[in-house]
Chains A and B, each alone.
Chain A
C-alpha cells in the first residue's frame, strides 16, 4: 500500500464522478455544527531542513539514554535492540503492510503474526496467544473483561502492586460497565496479600503482576492455588517486563488462565512512552472469549499450508456491538519487531540477557545496601527494586540529574505510604562502572 496525497486534479476528478461541485458540497450531509467553520490554526509549513532542526531541538530537551544514565523502568525499559531487528523491520513488506483481511495477498504478514503468537505462547507457557493488543494496560483491562465474559460473574480483584497506570486503564474500561473492581492490598514483603480473598465472594478473575510494580517477584504458584480454591475464578497474570520470563517460571506453568502484559522490552524503543505492545495469551478452553484478532494455520484446497484470520466471527467488523472486544486491530509493527527480537535472541539468548539484567540489578541493590540504603521489601526481585532513602534525597536526585543520571522513580505520587522510596531499575544497558558512579554519588 502506498501513502500518496491526492492532487488537486485527483480531487476534481473524484468530485466530478460523484457529482459534487466542491468539497463543501461533498460534506454537506454532515450537520453544520459538527463542521469546522474556520481553517485549522496551524503554524506555517517548515522546510525539511527547518523541521529536522526543530525536532533536534526538541530531542535535545529530553533526558534519554544513551546521553543520560537512566535507572528508571516502571513499565518502560531501555534495552539494546539488535541491528538485525531494525533492518528487517524496515523492509517495506513489513513496514507498510495493512490489516490482512485478504489472505490471498497477505501471507507474509499473516505468517509473521502467526510466528509472533507461537513465540508468545512459548514465552508465557500458554496454549493460545492473540495477534496483540495496544499495550500492557489495555491487555490487562481486556483480560479482566474476558474473565467476566467467561464466568458470567460481576466482579474482579486486582492487586495494588500492579502498575498504577494499568489500574487506571482498568478503571476507565470498567467505569461504564457496572462491574466491580476490588483492590487487593500489598503485604509487608512487597507481594500481594491474599488473606482477605476468601471474603470477597464470587470473583470472575484475580489479577497479579509479576514482577510487580515494585519489582518484586510474586509467588505465582501459591497465588494460583489460592485463587483456584474457587474453581471458576480465572487467574490473570500481568507483566510489564516480559524479559523476566527468561529466568522465572512462566505464568502457564504456575496455573495462569490468562497472561497479559507489555512487550516493549522486546525490540521496541521506549519512544517517550509509546507505542507499546500488548501481549495476550490464554488457555485453549477460553479461546472463544479472547479479545482481538487471531491468526490460524490451515491448508488450502490444493493441500498447501496457508495462514488466515481465524475465529473472526466474534470480531467487531462482523459482530458489531456483540463482539468480544471493541478492538479488532493489533499492534502489527510492534508485534513484528518483538517477533524478530525473540527469534534473534532465541531461548538461550533471552535466558542469558535475563540473567544479566537480574545480576546487574542485584549488584546495585547490594552496593546500596552496603552504604546503608535498603529496600522496605524482602521479596526477591528481577531488574527493579524499591529503595528507601533518607530525608533530603530529592535534592540528591536533582543534583544527579544535573550530572545526567536519573536515579529512579519517586514513588510518592503513586503510593503515598512509600513517599521516602524510589523505584530503581538496571538493565543490560547500565554497566558496572555506571552503577559504581551512582553509588558513589548517593553515598556522598
Chain B
C-alpha cells in the first residue's frame, strides 16, 4: 500500500471524510473515490452505480465498489440528481485503480445546493484526515 506521501491528491478536486472526491465540470459535478480509497481497497472488480435520473442527498449511499477483498458503500459528497454515470466501469472497473480522478470517475450530478461543494475538504484538510 502507498505511503501518504506517495498518494495522488490533485489540488483541483474536493474531498470527503469517506474518501470520495467531487469536482465542478461545467454545469455538473463529477465524483469518484480518492487515490487513498482505491489503494486501500485493492484490485477493484465491480462498481455498482445508480440509474441516471435518480436523486440523492449529501451523505446518502449511491452504490458500492467491490474489490477482491471487500465490498464498500459509496456515499454522495454532495446532494443532487444523477445526470450521467461512467458506463466504461462496467467492463473496466480497474480504471478506478489506475486513474481514479479521470478515467475512473463514477457519477455526474446536477448539484441541488452548489454551496455543499465548497464546504468539502481541500487537499490540505484531507491530508490531515489521512494522517489522523
A-side residues, CB < 8 A to B, are 152, 288, 313-314, 318-319, 322
Contacts and interface: CB of A to CB of B under 8 A. Distances in A.
Contacts of B69: 313
Interface residues of B, number: 10
A152 B71 CA distance: 18
Contacts of A313: 66-71
A288 B70 contact: no
A313 B48 CA distance: 14
Per DSSP, chain A at the interface is helix
A313 B73 CA distance: 12
B75 to A, nearest CB: 13
A318 B69 CA distance: 9
Contacts of B126: none
A314 B66 CA distance: 9
Which 3 A-B pairs have CB atoms at the shortest separation, nearest pair first?
A313-B71, A313-B70, A314-B71
Contacts of A152: 51
Given A288-B48, A288-B66, A313-B69, 14 more contacts: A152-B51, A288-B46, A313-B67, A313-B68, A313-B70, A313-B71, A314-B66, A314-B71, A318-B70, A318-B71, A319-B70, A319-B71, A322-B71, A322-B73
Contacts of B46: 288
Contacts of B67: 313
B88 to A, nearest CB: 18
Contacts of B48: 288
Interface string B33-77: 000000000000010100100000000000000111111010000
A314 B71 CA distance: 7
B93 to A, nearest CB: 12
Contacts of A288: 46, 48, 66
Contacts of B73: 322
A313 B71 CA distance: 6
18 contacts: A152-B51, A288-B46, A288-B48, A288-B66, A313-B66, A313-B67, A313-B68, A313-B69, A313-B70, A313-B71, A314-B66, A314-B71, A318-B70, A318-B71, A319-B70, A319-B71, A322-B71, A322-B73
B81 to A, nearest CB: 15
Nearest to B69: A313
Contacts of A314: 66, 71
A389 B73 CA distance: 58
A36 B73 CA distance: 41
Nearest to B71: A313
Interface string B81-113: 000000000000000000000000000000000
A152 B62 CA distance: 12
Nearest to A232: B51
Contacts of A318: 70-71
A260 B94 CA distance: 33
Contacts of A322: 71, 73
Nearest to B68: A313
A184 B105 CA distance: 43
Nearest to B50: A152
B49 to A, nearest CB: 12
Contacts of A319: 70-71
Contacts of B51: 152
B47 to A, nearest CB: 11
B91 to A, nearest CB: 13
A421 to B, nearest CB: 46
A318 B73 CA distance: 13
A286 to B, nearest CB: 12
A75 B72 CA distance: 40
Nearest to A315: B71
Nearest to A323: B71
A366 to B, nearest CB: 53
A315 to B, nearest CB: 10
